[in-house]
Chain A
Amino acid sequence: MSSTGTGIQPPPQVIEAARSPVMASAFAARTKVLPILELALLIAASIAPLVLRDYITVYATRVLILCLFALSFDLVWGYAGILSLGQSLFFGMAGYAVALLSRDFGVESIFAVLPAGSLIGLVAALLLAGSLLLGRHPSSVVFVSLGTMTGAYAADRLARGSHYLGGQNGIPSIPPMTIGSHEMSEGPGFYYLVLAILVLIYLMSRFLLRSQFGLALAGLRENEQRIAFFGYKVQHLKAIIFAISGAIAGTAGSLYAFHEGFVWTNMLGVVMSTQVVLYVLFGGSGTLIGAVIGTAIVEGLSFWLSDNYRDIWPIILGVLLLLVIMFRPLGLISLVLGERERVGHFGPGVKEKRNAAP
């Protein structure tokens, strides 16, 4: 194996030119919509409980938890091209697990239940990845999507039939989560807790997706076969992102269980899995902010529509979703975000670009 880079000896002027930063200056002129959008949403979310009535804040908390869940699906579908139609499996299993921890062991501390929830999601996703993704040869999208959906469907059925898991009714009256001696009941306190977790996980995902690992994922999504010929172990990449996504879904599931105060079989099944697909498609997959916006708008709309058009609101919502998917297949986010910024770039960092600006 050649040890001198590509092994080619380029003429000296080529090396000189490669060191020059002029090449990067093309970036400098482009305006950035994404950071502005992210900041605006963060500010809006931070002041929301101050201006909203309490029952809406409670509803908004649930929406934030669902945003976290949507992020987990966006990571696998929007960034790695794995169509997981069983994302609710991790969400629901974590929800049930923390409900059982509380019911049978009296554990409600946030420092126990949240890690437990993420761990359950992570392990479940790894197990599923082991059977669906980690063959010697890459598995097809259809195989993975049907496999994950079957998993969710089976879990839903099992939970319905299990006396231990409360059958059709699920597990009711979960006591509040605790931080030390403080009980987290629904309201602004819980809202800010969820917001903080969402922002933290959002930033961590953002960091990962903009790293060279993110570039490998972009390659995976665009042309899996091509990057295998570069030497990437595509099955491993998929399993890793799938596991991370499972952990995030698990975190969301455990928060959801304590916020709602009960868990039931829908959390595990295809209803929830489908819902999260809609959130992400509506907002725009392949951008983290798209998943958040999609969830917030779909949930916000259903809240408002169901208040004002009591009987036909699901039809109106369905038509709206259809319109977006027909005319904006890249989601609402594509109204404000160009392709270049959506895909992003992984080359020279911000610092180099700044130096390059004339």
Chain B
Amino acid sequence: MPLLEAVDISKVFGKLTALDGAALTVGEKEFHGLIGPNGSGKSTLMKCLAGALVPTRGKVTFINTDVTSLTPPERARAGMSLKFQITAVLPTLTLYDNILLALQARSSLLDLAFSRSRGRLHEEVMTMLLQFRLADRAFDAAATLSHGQQQWLEIAMALACRPRLLLLDEPTGGMSLEERRVTGELLQPIKQHCSLVIVEHDLDFIRDICDRLTVLDQGKVLASGTVAEIQVNRSVQEIYLRRA
């Protein structure tokens, strides 16, 4: 049984059909890349998976549960976590507090009011920060980070919710080559406990970290398979050559 299964997903905005019967299957501990030309519906599909959008048609199943109509908090509690395309760290809070905010989301209100989980979570917060190479900035406001560092902070926050499935929408957007390489390194250890769906323009990056790929074109699935299979797929090569 796959971890996530999205079947026949369509999303219509007025006259625009962003998704037209798209599908996606992600197994346990699988890194799944979602690629395709601009406007092919990648971000829309991500949003339908995360609950930011409700699909016009179709069904999303996550850990054997139909989550199609669940709200984002309900999906988060079920074990899904999304990193937004536009960085959405909380700029005036310190890095430490950004991570703590994500970590404490499951504490009860009473625990929060009396700060009962603060001590317990301290080590986890610092571990996350160290892993994402942000520990020396722990007590600076998130707004003072570089763009690449903000992306890392966001990934750390998304992971802090302890998801079974992490949805990353263009994590390396605006990053330098070196930062991209580091991002790849940072994502590798996640595989031990978590699946990943990643939207990305950088095909080298995708090839390096993903197990399987799904290629979208005009809201439809053009091809889906292992990285090796997709690389030799004729129609995929065509759309990328056409746009290049």
Contacts and interface: CB of A to CB of B under 8 A. Distances in A.
A343 interface: yes
A240 interface: yes
Interface stretch (A65-73, A171-179, A215-223, A261-269): A215-223
Contacts of A18: 123, 126-127, 130, 135
B96 A345 contact: yes
Interface in B73-113: 73, 76-77, 79, 81-82, 84, 88, 90-94, 96-97, 100-102, 104-107, 109, 111-113
Given A2-B193, A219-B101, A339 B92 contact: yes
Contact of A232 (B73, B93, B129): B73
Contacts of B107: 212
Given A8-B190, A14-B130, A232-B105, A346 B123 contact: no
Given A14-B131, A232-B73, A226 B88 contact: yes
A23 B93 contact: no
Interface in A309-356: 339-340, 343, 345-349, 352
Contacts of B82: 229
B90 A223 contact: yes
Contact of A1 (B72, B139, B164): B164
A5 interface: yes
Contacts of A222: 90-93
Contacts of A7: 162, 192-194
A40 interface: no
A9 interface: yes
Nearest to A240: B109
Contacts of A32: none
Chain B interface, DSSP helix/strand/loop, else mixed: helix
Interface in A218-238: 218-219, 222-223, 225-234, 236
B71 A137 contact: yes
Given A1-B162, A218-B90, A226-B84, A6 B128 contact: yes
Contact of B100 (A137, A233, A346): A346
Nearest to B194: A7
Interface residues of B, number: 61
Nearest to A216: B112
B73 A231 contact: yes
A213 B113 contact: yes
A23 B123 CA distance: 11
Given A10-B130, A18-B123, A231-B106, A23 B135 contact: yes
B100 A26 contact: no
B50 interface: yes
B78 to A, nearest CB: 9
Given A7-B192, A219-B101, A229 B76 contact: yes
A347 B164 contact: no
B147 to A, nearest CB: 17
A14 to B, nearest CB: 5
B181 interface: no
Contacts of B92: 218, 222, 339, 343
B114 interface: yes
Contacts of B194: 7
B125 A233 contact: no
Contacts of B105: 227, 230-232
Nearest to A210: B115
A15 interface: yes
Interface of A: 1-2, 5-10, 14-15, 17-19, 23-24, 26-27, 136-137, 208, 211-213, 215-216, 218-219, 222-223, 225-234, 236, 240, 339-340, 343, 345-349, 352
Given A8-B131, A18-B127, A213-B113, 6 more contacts: A6-B124, A14-B131, A212-B118, A216-B104, A240-B109, A339-B92
6 contacts: A1-B162, A2-B162, A2-B193, A6-B159, A26-B138, A216-B104
Interface of B: 50, 71-73, 76-77, 79, 81-82, 84, 88, 90-94, 96-97, 100-102, 104-107, 109, 111-118, 122-131, 135-136, 138-141, 157, 159-162, 164, 189-190, 192-194
